Amino acid sequence: MNDTKPALPAEMTALLATVGTKRDRAAFEILFVHFAPRVRSYLLRLGASAALADDLAQEAMLTIWRKAEMFDPAKASASTWIFTIARNLHIDAIRRERRPEFDPNDPALVPDEEVPPDTQMVRDSEDARVRSALTKLSAEQAQVVQMSFFAEKPHSQIAKELGLPLGTVKSRLRLAMARIKSALDGDA
Amino acid sequence: MTIAHHPADELLLSYAAGATDEATSLIVATHLTFCPQCRRTVAKAEAAGGALLESSESVPLSGNALQAVMSRLDEPAPAPIRAPLTPSNVPAPLRAYIGDDLERVRWTQIAGGISFKPLFQRGESRVQLIRSKPGSGVGLHTHRGEEFTLCLTGGYTDITGNYARGDWQSTTPDILHRPLADAGEDCIVLAVSDAPLLFRNWGIALIAKWFGF
């Protein structure tokens, strides 16, 4: 690792995989330095107090250490996986709600169709592509995406706060999702 | 099994963002159990979440948080909460609410061929299971707000199409429909609504009101 240049998402994903397979503390430390301040910032934007955001960011990092074995670099990048952990921790600890999820081991699960295996290279470029798609959203689309991710507002609440018809909020989010999808499907 | 009817992409984005309430998250997660295509959409929306996290401002933690966490790495992890799943006709997300056997749900019969089971109500959202014998239905109704319906067993048909296991239907106040259960096994649906249904038949309306349907 070269400390002078900004860490690449691909390096973070490789480090997280190493934590999962080798319980590597040095790798975890690098992940902590990179992600803990970002997770804290995400929690602050969601409305957590400074003290709570500190506690939960630490809790998130411990969860990452404990669950790292379950991380599959073929399925998600480190930042995506860590986002889902921080999101779930916030809903559980602050909203005090359940967030039901499908269980990959559920006997009732209808399995994925056969898809060509993702190579690491594809995954890395996906990361860049989704970030670039987000910067290309219109101001109106970016606003409703931000309100979804950083304020956890449902459509009806966004409509109320922006004084827009519900259908307008939905169509802006739908267009944003179409952009994200096409960036990841490689035809953007 | 091919799913013909899916939740809207903007709803999957909200679910991925953590912006849906428990009731909506439950019905989305149950659909995802049946639907690889929507699982891929959610994964893509989560990748957007990852990118937003990655580009978030870096706000250092106060005190020596790194040391505090490093010193806790050897603590025993809390035991996993979930027991291994046994084969069941109930998708995993629903098991926390109704157990693992649809046959053992305690149904309340409200009209010929129709039973229901309220699961929970939180804020505006009410969640229930509705069971219809083949050929029966809850009657002509519309909706005050939004309603999501997910078919769990059997199938039903209304003016908009045919819905089988795993299929999703979103209905709004502009849809007046009379869903009827298909022939074969009983049709059980999971329904999430943000307001009570509006029935055209006053008799059913009265029963529905009585039961908080």
What is the predicted pLDDT for the residue at B142? Answer: 78
* A84, B82 Cβ separation under 8 angstroms: no
Q: Please state the domain extents for chain B.
A: 101-211
CATH 2.60.120.10 holds for B101-211 = yes
- Lowest mean pLDDT segment, chosen from A152-161, B125-134, B204-213: B204-213
Please report how the helices A139-151 and A166-185 are oriented relative to each other, as an axis angle in degrees rounded to 10: 90
Residue B157 — pLDDT band, cuts 50, 70, 90?
very high
Judge: A102–B92 Cβ closer than 8 Å, yes or no: yes
Number of other CB atoms surrounding residue A74 within 10 Å: 11
- Mean pLDDT of all residues in B62-66: 88
What is the predicted pLDDT for the residue at A14? Answer: 94
- Lowest mean pLDDT segment, chosen from A72-76, A123-127, A149-153, B95-99: A123-127
Touching B: A residues 44-63, CB under 8 Å: 44-45, 50, 53-54, 57-58, 61-62
More confident residue, B137 or A30: A30
Any bridge partners for residue B131, and if so which?
B115, B188
Q: Does the ipTM surpass 0.90? A: yes
Chain mean position to CA B155: 16
Compute the nearest-CA separation of A84 from chain B (Å): 7
More confident residue, A133 or B123: A133
CA distance A138 to A125: 22
> Which positions in chain B touch A145 (Cβ < 8 Å)?
13, 48
Tens digit of pLDDT for each residue in A3-18?
Answer: 445 568 889 999 999 9
- Mean pLDDT of all residues in B45-62: 93
Residue A188 — pLDDT band, cuts 50, 70, 90?
very low
For all residues of chain B together, what is the average pLDDT?
Answer: 89
Q: Is the pLDDT of residue B172 over 70?
A: yes
Side-chain half-sphere exposure of B170, counting CA atoms within 13 A: 12
Tens digit of pLDDT for each residue in B26-46?
Answer: 999 999 999 999 999 999 999
What is the predicted pLDDT for the residue at A124? Answer: 67
What is the predicted pLDDT for the residue at A2? Answer: 41
* A180, B48 Cβ separation under 8 angstroms: yes
Q: Is the pLDDT of residue B199 over 90?
A: no
Domains annotated for chain A, with CATH where assigned, are 9-95 (1.10.1740.10), 123-185 (1.10.10.10)
| DSSP annotation string for B84-131 | PPPP-SS-HHHHHHH-S-GGGS--EEEETTEEEEEEEEETTEEEEEEE
* A181, B8 Cβ separation under 8 angstroms: no
What is the predicted pLDDT for the residue at A62? Answer: 97
Left, alpha or beta for B148 (phi > 0: left; psi -120 to 50: alpha)? beta
> Which positions in chain B touch A87 (Cβ < 8 Å)?
17-18, 49
pTM above 0.90, yes or no: yes
- Lowest mean pLDDT segment, chosen from A140-154, B82-96, B133-147, B198-212: B198-212
Q: Is the pLDDT of residue B211 over 90?
A: no
Any bridge partners for residue B108, and if so which?
B116
Strand bridging mode B187-193 / B161-164: unpaired
Sole residue written with tokens 């096994």: B185
Residue of B nearest to A79 (CA): B50
